[in-house]
Amino acid sequence: MTAELYTTPTCGYCRKAKDYLRELGINVNEKDITKNPKYMEEFQKRVGASSGVPVIFLKGVKITGFDKKKIDAVLGI
């Protein structure tokens, strides 16, 4: 299973989310929106320009912020 994770390099919650997902054995496809214009465009289309990071797409569910309870609920744990 792979999660898409929109991040920025200065986001502490992005690092926590990435670490937690990996701890659970989930592959992380990290998309740094500051380094790749394609990722920024994709982020704005999928999430909206006013949203912050991290944003996680896991099993078709959008999770805004580092929300362990929602991650666990999506995974059924």
**5-46 confidence digits (pLDDT tens):** 999 999 999 999 999 999 999 999 999 999 999 999 999 999
Q: What is the mean pLDDT of residues 45-68?
A: 91
Confidence (pLDDT) at 10: 95
> Closest Cα partner for 20 from 52, 60, 66, 53?
66
Do you know the residue count of the chain? 77
Model confidence, pTM:
0.91
Does domain 2-75 sit in CATH 3.40.30.10? yes
Confidence (pLDDT) at 48: 80
How far apart CA 52 and CA 65 sit, in angstroms, is 8
Residue 76 phi/psi, 5-degree rounding, is 75, 35
Q: What is the mean pLDDT of residues 51-66?
A: 94
pLDDT for 50 beyond 90: no
17 in Cβ contact with 56 (< 8 Å)? yes
